């Protein structure tokens, strides 16, 4: 088990700082260049910061918010919190003001690590103590990260340092999840929850120290938090992305061997490849199109002259997008279309799709290097037990199941039954080889007023393959027929049409270039649907939707309740 003998996050800290000596352990961008923090630097900073935080008054059981972009400093602060026995509460950097204040009140936050001065004004609670990073405020309840790090060093020299020893059943972190309802729920995860995940992941992935990870997802999301914890336990080099728009460039700079992503990013790369092929001169376009079609085959043969030609001329160029060394691209947070997964696997970019939810810390199943069944969510993790109930819902049990929802005993009892089974809310089946397949969310199968059922997510996935559609939202619940809201990818339209950037898409979106393309696409989609599932009417929406506005979840899934409320008038015009 590679010297895995830790049971808590504090013991994980001892394990990684005593086992590894990586000089390029944590890496962050400063003025366009990467700066590194070694394992030894990390250890010293965590110890000194934890002493300083304890001196500020943070003690065992306190809830401490981390409201910042992902970086080594996020991790240093997180580990320092756990050294004094406090509970970390990650908050997404782009959270709406309403949800921000709800989470602060709900989890009784007293201290906050924050890296955005502009967001301070959004916080209603007046007695918070702030530890600021990248900015300074000269007020009594504000302390600067760099300053208290120095004071922690002085305390360390005078008093030394003692590790806090938590119990594995103590709450490690409170992770807020909104799901599709938009109402945040505080998921209480214990040390045992997240450590059990790391043991399971290590059995199937078993990273080596030479690996290089690129981290672009927010650490406030349990998917990246758990994966990051595993990275740390293996002592590999981790490079953080500064801006999501810079990912394309940093892939070529860092040349990672492993990374995680949400489906929306992978879909964007897939669509970009298609558009780039169509923009090439005739010969290049013809070869590219043939190679693209070849790679879309489920049973693509690799021992042909055609494959060797396409691989040399085309697929190798596609792999360069990812830096040419990527061996493991792990997709989670939402479902990824099977044909897109198949395409990337066929061209030599191995995508491993998994499945989980925050309440399970989060991974229940995943594909991995020795077992990758495209279209499935892979095999169940070793310590997890699952079963399908009579209604087709997936239930899960094991050491990764959350302690419960903060301040919501009734909801906890509804979600975890008396026998300890977590009700996932997902309809699923397991094939003869033990691979898990998710059909849909129970709450995302809509019943029309005529009594027919419409599985929204699969239809939305197909619609979103159109280059002009950023997101699709199917409307059908209690309606006499099925309709859709199509959120236009403005940047793609303006980029392709090479229009004046000072003009808005509202001046253009009713032109033939976009309406005829989308209309044809909807017609093609409808050809493969049951009569009651067909999109009878749709509306093109040019309004922005965002995580900040509450219309999207942090993993870029649509928040139906919010969207249906916001666009109620437009929806009504279709009926």
* CATH code for the domain of 492: 3.30.300.30
Is residue 425 assigned to a domain?
A: yes
Residues counted in the chain: 575
Same domain, 285 and 389: yes
Same domain, 107 and 146: yes
Q: Which of 413, 442, 471 is the last residue of a domain?
A: 442
Same domain, 356 and 486: no
Q: Which of 171, 190, 209 is the last residue of a domain?
A: 190
Residues 6+ apart with CB under 8 A from 554: 92, 94, 178, 218, 220, 221, 547
pLDDT at 502: 54
Q: What tokens were used for 516? A: 């005829």
Q: Is residue 498 scored above 60 in pLDDT? A: no
For 293-299, the CB contacts below 8 A with 24+ separation are 295/343, 295/346, 295/347, 296/339, 296/342, 296/343, 296/346, 297/342, 297/346, 298/342, 298/374
Is residue 198 assigned to a domain?
A: no
Q: How confident is the model at residue 507 (pLDDT cuts 50, 70, 90)?
A: low
98-111 residue pLDDT tens: 889 999 999 999 99
Question: How many other CB atoms sit within 10 Å of the CB of residue 77?
Answer: 24
């002259």: which residue's tokens?
305
Question: How many other CB atoms sit within 10 Å of the CB of residue 134?
Answer: 15
**Pairing between β-strand 33-37 and β-strand 363-366 as defined by DSSP bridges:** unpaired
Same domain, 361 and 379: yes
CA–CA dist 212, 158 (Å, integer): 38
pLDDT at 290: 97
Is residue 249 assigned to a domain?
A: no
Q: How far is CA 99 from the centre of its chain?
A: 18
Q: Is residue 495 scored above 70 in pLDDT? A: no
Same domain, 459 and 436: no
CA–CA dist 509, 499 (Å, integer): 12
Same domain, 42 and 128: yes
115-171 residue pLDDT tens: 999 999 999 999 999 999 999 999 999 999 999 999 999 999 888 877 788 999 999
**Stretch among 158-162, 174-178, 217-221, 409-413 having the lowest mean pLDDT:** 158-162
Question: Domain containing 401 — which CATH number?
Answer: 3.40.50.12780
64-109 residue pLDDT tens: 999 999 999 999 999 999 999 999 999 999 888 888 999 999 999 9
pLDDT at 491: 65
Same domain, 409 and 286: yes
Q: How confident is the model at residue 494 (pLDDT cuts 50, 70, 90)?
A: low
Is residue 196 assigned to a domain?
A: no
Question: Domain containing 27 — which CATH number?
Answer: 3.40.50.980
pLDDT at 85: 95
Same domain, 505 and 526: yes
Same domain, 429 and 478: no
pLDDT at 457: 86
**Stretch among 196-205, 325-334, 493-502, 525-534 having the lowest mean pLDDT:** 493-502
Same domain, 459 and 433: no
SS3 category, 416: strand
**Stretch among 161-170, 357-366, 407-416, 445-454 having the lowest mean pLDDT:** 445-454
Q: Dihedral sign, CA of 55, 57, 60, 65?
A: negative
Q: Considering the chain, what percentage of its residues have pLDDT values greater than 70?
A: 95
Q: Is residue 499 scored above 60 in pLDDT? A: no
CA–CA dist 354, 438 (Å, integer): 10
Residue span of the structural domain in which 83 resides:
9-190
Same domain, 414 and 536: no
**Stretch among 143-157, 339-353, 482-496 having the lowest mean pLDDT:** 482-496
pLDDT at 504: 54
Same domain, 263 and 300: yes
Q: Which of 140, 164, 190 is the last residue of a domain?
A: 190
276-316 residue pLDDT tens: 998 899 999 999 999 999 999 999 999 999 999 999 999 99
Q: Name the domain count of the chain.
A: 3
CA–CA dist 333, 220 (Å, integer): 13
Are 215 and 224 in contact, with CB atoms under 8 Å apart? yes
- Mean pLDDT estimate for the chain: 92
Report the predicted TM-score, pTM, of the whole model to 2 decimal places: 0.87
Q: Is residue 179 scored above 70 in pLDDT? A: no
Output DSSP code: residue 464. Answer: T
Is residue 544 assigned to a domain?
A: yes
In the predicted model, what is the mean pLDDT of residues 396-423? 97
pLDDT at 1: 44
pLDDT at 271: 87
pLDDT at 559: 87
Is residue 228 assigned to a domain?
A: no
Is residue 253 assigned to a domain?
A: no
**Stretch among 5-19, 161-175, 327-341, 502-516 having the lowest mean pLDDT:** 502-516
pLDDT at 442: 72
21-32 residue pLDDT tens: 999 999 999 999
Is residue 219 assigned to a domain?
A: no
């Amino acid at each position: 088990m590679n010297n895995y003998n830790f049971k808590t996050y504090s013991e994980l800290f001892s394990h990684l700082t005593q086992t590894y000596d990586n000089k390029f352990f944590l890496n962050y961008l400063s003025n366009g260049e990467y700066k590194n923090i070694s394992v030894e630097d990390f250890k010293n900073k965590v110890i000194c910061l934890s002493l300083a935080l304890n001196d500020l008054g943070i003690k065992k059981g306190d809830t401490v918010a981390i409201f910042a972009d992902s970086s080594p400093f996020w991790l240093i602060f997180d580990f320092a919190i756990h050294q004094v026995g406090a509970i970390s509460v990650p908050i997404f950097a782009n959270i709406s003001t309403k949800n921000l204040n709800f989470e602060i009140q709900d989890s009784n936050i007293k201290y906050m690590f924050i890296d955005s001065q502009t967001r301070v004004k959004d916080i209603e609670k007046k007695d918070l103590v702030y530890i600021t990073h990248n900015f300074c405020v000269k007020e009594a309840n504000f302390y600067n990260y760099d300053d208290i790090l120095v004071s922690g060093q002085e305390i360390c020299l005078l008093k030394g340092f003692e590790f806090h020893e938590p119990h594995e059943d103590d709450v490690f972190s409170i992770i807020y999840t909104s799901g599709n309802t938009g109402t945040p729920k505080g998921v209480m995860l214990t040390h045992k929850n997240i450590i059990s995940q790391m043991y399971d992941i290590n059995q199937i992935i078993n990273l080596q120290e030479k690996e290089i990870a690129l981290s672009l997802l927010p650490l406030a999301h349990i998917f990246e938090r758990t994966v990051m914890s595993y990275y740390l336990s293996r002592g590999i080099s981790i490079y953080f992305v500064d801006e999501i728009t810079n990912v394309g460039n940093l892939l070529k700079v860092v040349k990672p061997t492993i990374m995680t992503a949400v489906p929306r990013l992978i879909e964007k790369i897939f669509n970009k490849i298609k558009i780039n092929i169509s923009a090439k001169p005739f010969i290049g376009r013809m070869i590219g199109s043939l190679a693209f079609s070849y790679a879309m085959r489920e049973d693509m043969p690799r021992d042909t002259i055609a494959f060797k030609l396409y691989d040399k001329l085309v697929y190798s160029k596609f792999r360069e997008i990812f830096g040419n060394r990527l061996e493991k691209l792990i997709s989670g947070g939402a479902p990824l279309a099977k044909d897109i997964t198949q395409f990337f696997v066929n061209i030599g970019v191995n995508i491993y799709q998994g499945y989980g939810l925050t309440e399970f810390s989060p991974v229940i199943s995943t594909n991995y290097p020795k077992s990758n069944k495209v279209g499935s969510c892979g095999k169940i993790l070793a310590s997890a037990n699952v079963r399908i109930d009579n209604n087709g819902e997936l239930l899960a049990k094991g050491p990764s199941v959350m302690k419960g929802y903060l301040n919501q005993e009734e909801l906890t009892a509804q979600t975890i039954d008396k026998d300890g089974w977590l009700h996932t809310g997902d309809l699923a089946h397991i094939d003869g080889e033990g691979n898990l397949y998710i059909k849909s969310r129970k709450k995302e199968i809509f019943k029309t007023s005529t009594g027919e059922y419409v599985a929204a997510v699969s239809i939305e996935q197909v619609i979103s393959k159109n280059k002009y559609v950023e997101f699709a939202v199917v409307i059908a619940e209690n309606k006499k027929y099925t309709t859709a809201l199509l959120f236009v990818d403005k940047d793609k339209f303006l980029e392709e049409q090479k229009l004046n950037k000072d003009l808005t898409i509202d001046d253009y979106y009713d032109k033939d270039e976009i309406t005829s393309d989308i209309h044809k696409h909807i017609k093609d989609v409808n050809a493969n649907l049951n009569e009651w599932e067909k999109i009878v009417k749709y509306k093109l929406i040019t309004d922005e939707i965002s995580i900040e506005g509450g219309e999207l979840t942090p993993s870029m899934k649509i928040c139906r309740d919010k969207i249906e409320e916001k666009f109620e008038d437009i929806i009504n015009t279709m009926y």
